[in-house]
Amino acid sequence: MSVATPGVEKPHNYEGMFLVDSGKYATDPEGVTNDILAVLRKAGATVVAHRPWQDGKLAYEIEGMRKGLHYIVMFTMPGSGMKTLVRQCQLSETIVRQMTIVHPQSIFDASVAALSGAVPAIAAGHAASAEDADDDNGDIEE
């Protein structure tokens, strides 16, 4: 049986999707990225991985925008920081919309690996066995 330490809140694993103006990102990608990361820092988040995800036409116009960029961030944060995060996103001139979901550790780790370009061991083993199967196609080598 584990005993919780009073006053210390366990961080949760989150995936955040932030919609930003694609034109603004195209002209200043570093500035937009820094704005998103600053909002997360103010909420007490620790960013594990992040990158732009999808840029394209929106299903409907939002605040005059017809095109947007979705920026994905994997981060850890105590649950108490969520109220601050939502408020900071509302106050941000860079972030148009945001969505945050909680992940179990296994999905969080897989998502971080996918964002950072690392191939999980299971996928690497599967890819190697697929290559072996292609090599063994019954042809006679001369």
How far lies 32's CA from each of 3, 28, 53, 76, 128, in Å? 41, 6, 14, 21, 39
Q: What is the pLDDT of residue 111?
A: 92
Greater model confidence, 120 or 18: 18
Spell out the domains of the chain, with CATH numbers in brackets. 11-134 (3.30.70.60)
Residue pair 85/66 in contact by the 8 Å Cβ criterion = no
62-74 confidence digits (pLDDT tens): 988 899 999 999 9
Summarised one tens digit per residue, pLDDT across range 1-35 is: 445 555 677 899 999 999 999 889 999 999 999 99
In the three-class reduction of DSSP (H, G, I as helix; E, B as strand; rest coil), residue 78 is classed as strand
